[in-house]
Amino acid sequence: MGLLSGLLLFPIAGPVRGLRFVLEQIREEADAQLFDENAVQAELMSLDLLYRQGEISDEEYEAREAELFDYLNAIRASNEGRGEGDEYWEGDAW
């Protein structure tokens, strides 16, 4: 885009570029929160604590634990697909 056309189109192109930048930032933050393994692990620990304190039943614990492990596995598979695997992960060893 030439200088003249850039100046003439700036009132339209400038806000569009700014909006695109903001939307990309929002998407990146949403992805970071959605694919946060630490948050899921913290929720698993919280669930375990509730179970040990007797605040939830065996059925509730098992159902929620299965959901969280499925979600954690999906996050890990997604991260591997995007090339964002954990550097310390080596097969079955933590």
pLDDT in tens, 23-37: 999 999 998 888 889
- Residue 93: which region, alpha, beta or left (left: phi > 0; alpha: psi -120 to 50)? beta
pLDDT in tens, 36-74: 899 999 999 999 999 999 999 999 999 999 999 999 999
What whole-number distance in Å separates Cα of residue 84 and Cα of residue 76?
Answer: 9
What whole-number distance in Å separates Cα of residue 23 and Cα of residue 27?
Answer: 6
Residue 91 pLDDT > 70: no
pTM of the complete model: 0.60
